[in-house]
Amino acid sequence: MAKWLYRVIIFITTLLFTSQLNAINVSTVEDLWDIRDNLGGDYTLITGINLEDTNPNTINTYTVGTYNTGDIVEYTDGYAYYCSQDGNTNTPDTENGWTKMWEVSKGWDPIGDETSPFHGNFDGGGYVISNLYINRLADSSNNTTFPANGENFVGLFGFVTNGSTTSNASNSSDIYINNLGLTNVNIKGKRATGSLIGKVDLPNQRQGKLVIVDKCYVNGGTVAGFGATGGLVGANNSQRKQVVPIVRYCWADVTVSSTHPNNQSLNSGDNNNPYNIKYGGLVGCNENGLTQDSFSLGDVSGGDRVGGVAGCSIGGAIFRTYSTSNVTQNIGSSSWQGGYGPITGRVEGKLPPGLGGTNAIGSLEDSYYLDTSAITGTNDDNTYGTSQTSSQLSNATSYPNWDNNVWDFTTDYPTLQSSPSSIFYFKSKNSGAFSTVSNWENSSTENGTYTTSVIKPDYTNSVSIKVLSGDTITLANGKSAFISSTTVEGNLAVASGGVLNIENESGDDLIIAGNGSLEITGTLNIGQSATLIGETNSTITFNGTTSQSLPSGLSSVYNLTIDNSSGVTLPDTLTINGTLTVTSGNYTGANNVTVDGIYSPAVKHLVWPKTDFNIENYSSSTSLSSLYPTYINRSWTLTGNIDDASTDNREKTITFYWDADDDANHDWVGLSQTPVLFEGGSKVSTATSSNLSGNIRSATYVYTFPENAKATRGNLTIGLENQTLPVELSSFNAMATSTSSVALNWTVQSESNGSGYRVYRNNSNDLNTATMLETFIPAHNLPYTHTYTFNDEEIINATGQLFYWIKFIELDNSYTNYGPVFVQFEIPNNDTPPIIISEGIKSTYPNPFNPTVTISYYVKSPKSVTFEIYNVKGQLIKTIVEYPYNEGVHQVNWNGKDDFNKNVASGVYFVKSLNLNDNTPVKVLLSK
């Protein structure tokens, strides 16, 4: 229910009676309990009272120790005891410094009963009594007969009449209960059950005496009974029409229900109507009573005679009320006097004139209900009152006979000007549990005097909520809270199993202020149109153990931390103006993320500080693949752009992290090597700083994001920068193969005056002591790009890193060295059988070729080897004879000419080896 339904002008308490100048002050639970010692006294509440200890699940069990005034414990006899002296070490059963109170399992014992009714005056002073718990319901299994157990007249004040007994007495007087708010009630009783009063019953003999309940409310919770059950008052009755009890200037927002919703047992003392009748949002039974200038908001369900404001009004009257309640009738029959309706379930008879109705003799006048309320039942629908749309209910012209001095029409629905404040300014008082009311203090005005609260804050009772700097307020496991207009300057934590709900009100609904934090281990729900704002330097953390989500409804966040191995789902569109930290797990669902800084050394393997220039369309991922030794085995995909024309503003100083396994424990430090950042195989930058010892490695680079989203993907790797290569040579690589050899390849852009290449190998980065391999690779001397390949199969007892160089020898015997390139190589262990390599052609490279193809082949022993080349017609066009002088891999070149030294045409050709074990033809493609 929206907050505007509860906004009221602060009530300034006035004394109604001269006798109250000598009223007894009530400020503690003991004071409230002791009213039963003087049921006819005049009382004034001077502070709020928290009755959370009336709930068996909340009260502490007595243990031997020292207690102070105000402590309440459950003793071994099952009763609650109130400590009335500081430093009390006595046991409660001695009652020395202890006051025995209610039976714990039943909760609060109503102040008055039918034998000893309350007949005094109680001024609530505009304060709140919270967390009232009473459990006196009948056995729920009795759903077909009248329950024999359970207790009647249940409520804070129980039974009220204007005398010390219900019979004629000389000490009868008017009774006023006023200016009191109840919150978060949990009331269960039998007949005549309400949160404030179970039953008002004026006897026939006391003509002219009144009981008036005014300026009271109940906000939040449940009330359940078995007949004559109302949100505030169970029964507002009189034995004769001339003696009228009055409920006025009151409201209720609680759920009202029947404890035995389908019970149809008949009451012979009530015209054979069922016991299970009379359920109202504000008043259950209004027999010969008056309910006026009041409203009800909570849902109502019951047996029969069910209404949004009152269950029925027999001989009574209802003036100037409205209801937004949903109403449900559970039983119904034409055999008795039932009914259900949006204001009342049944109206019968009329009060005498002069009681305040427009027509002076009406029973239900000038009352309205919300047209979208669900009103359901099984027999006659007594549609008493006038249906109004939401916009009509918010318009003062819809209430022609209502007094502007009583009602405030400036909010969406009317509120009462004279009702005690039901909404407060809350701020944390201590660190601790959200639901512990002593951790909060409140005031009816923002700059007024704050006192320790007796109610916990939620969006229905607060103008604003603040968690102050230095305080940590925790929503515990199994607890839920509904908040709005909340500012967190300290830390608001939602424990595992806790649920924080942010509701939509005017303005921002949850603000995490600078240096404030919201820590979500449980669940965060953001209501429709609700907003969450993260101010500069604030942090939101998700650290649950099961999947969590950050719902939509965010205007922006600043720092966002993900520390959940099960992952967090983010909104599709999210702006993170500070730093996104991912320390465990990952995030999904974020297709359009804007972020400034990143901190994720262990998950994303990336860190960069914020620069106040946001990256739009941001995403990043990292993966492992076999890239070593050309690069480390870890790579990154980085997406995003910075919409700024200045290159400097698009720069981020990024630190990349990897571990020793990712680079095969490469000895960066020993080899004095600096890692280089590559993007798509092209060098981006050299590390500005690095940490390359130990298991965790890191290197820092300046990386420039593109300006627009058309070029936002970066495939990034880290490797070594080879020594500077001349224009002719564009790449030189080495790779270990599955046949215990090393494959080298190098690409030249152009070549001239070359004799050929020699290959050198060493197990250290030292060309001077390197071994020259026997194979000489002739140069092609071509003016365009082509590639050479070479397989080193002469490796003997080599392990670890191998370094290779190539020497380009020119026709004048001058030369240029290139390299080194390196490869991590391991020989098979002794238990591994040797790899058997069969004779035959091993590879052709390049293929397609133009104009020369290199044919690599393997021989087991020196022999003459003949190669024959055929065209697709099977015609022999070229014969090449080779004389390898040792076992191993050798190479022969075909220059694309036939035996007559003429260039052959482009097309497919087949190379076949003779006198080798494997003479399978190999296809090559000549492309000119």
Per-residue pLDDT, 700 = 96
147-151, 371-375, 550-554, 677-681: range with lowest mean pLDDT: 550-554
Residue 796 has pLDDT above 60, yes or no: no
Tell me the pLDDT band of 19, cut-offs 50, 70 and 90.
Answer: very low
CA distance 79 to 92: 10
**Cβ atoms of residues 424 and 442 within 8 Å:** yes
Widest distance between CA atoms in the chain: 144
CA distance 427 to 443: 9
CA distance 728 to 748: 5
pLDDT tens-digit series, residues 737-747: 766 778 888 88
Helix, strand, coil in percent for the chain, rounding step 5 = 5, 45, 50
Per-residue pLDDT, 170 = 46
Residue 45 has pLDDT above 80, yes or no: yes
Q: Which residue, chain included where needed, has tokens 């290779």?
A: 804
CA distances to 249, 599, 764, 891, 927 from 853, rounded to whole Å, are 102, 51, 32, 10, 11
SS3 label, residue 396:
helix
Average pLDDT over residues 672-676: 87
Q: Kindly tell me the sign of the dihedral angle through the C-alpha atoms of 123, 128, 133, 136.
A: positive
More confident residue, 342 or 900: 342
SS3 label, residue 34:
helix
663 φ, ψ (degrees, to nearest 5)? -120, 25
- Within 10 angstroms of residue 17's Cβ, the number of other Cβ atoms is 12
55-69, 166-180, 437-451, 749-763: range with lowest mean pLDDT: 166-180
Instruction: Give exposure, 195-230, as e/b (b: 16+ Cβ within 10 Å).
Output: bbbbbbbbbeebeebbbbbbbbbbbbbbbbbbbbbb
CA-wise closest residue to 363 among 343, 378, 349: 349
Residue 67 has pLDDT above 90, yes or no: yes
- Within 10 angstroms of residue 357's Cβ, the number of other Cβ atoms is 22
CA distances to 27, 232, 367, 380, 401 from 247, rounded to whole Å, are 25, 10, 15, 27, 19
Residue 18 has pLDDT above 50, yes or no: no
CB neighbour class for 870 (10 Å; exposed up to 12, middle 13-18, buried from 19): middle
Angle at 633 between CA 629 and CA 635, to 5 degrees: 125
Say which residues have a Cβ less than 8 Å from residue 858's Cβ, sequence separation at least 6.
793, 837, 838, 839, 840, 842, 888, 889, 890
**Cβ atoms of residues 154 and 134 within 8 Å:** yes
CA distance 397 to 557: 44
CA distance 120 to 246: 16
Residue 14 has pLDDT above 50, yes or no: no
Per-residue pLDDT, 713 = 63
E-assigned strands of 88-149? Answer: 98-103, 121-130, 133-135
Which residues are registered as beta bridge partners of 295?
251, 322
Cis bond before residue 820 (omega within 30° of 0): yes
Both structure tokens of 159: 């039974």
| Ramachandran class of 907: left when φ > 0, alpha when ψ lies in -120 to 50, beta otherwise | left
More confident residue, 7 or 408: 408
Average pLDDT over residues 630-640: 89
CA distance 372 to 323: 11
Residue 524 has pLDDT above 90, yes or no: yes
Average pLDDT over residues 589-609: 92
709 φ, ψ (degrees, to nearest 5)? -80, 0
**Cβ atoms of residues 388 and 373 within 8 Å:** no
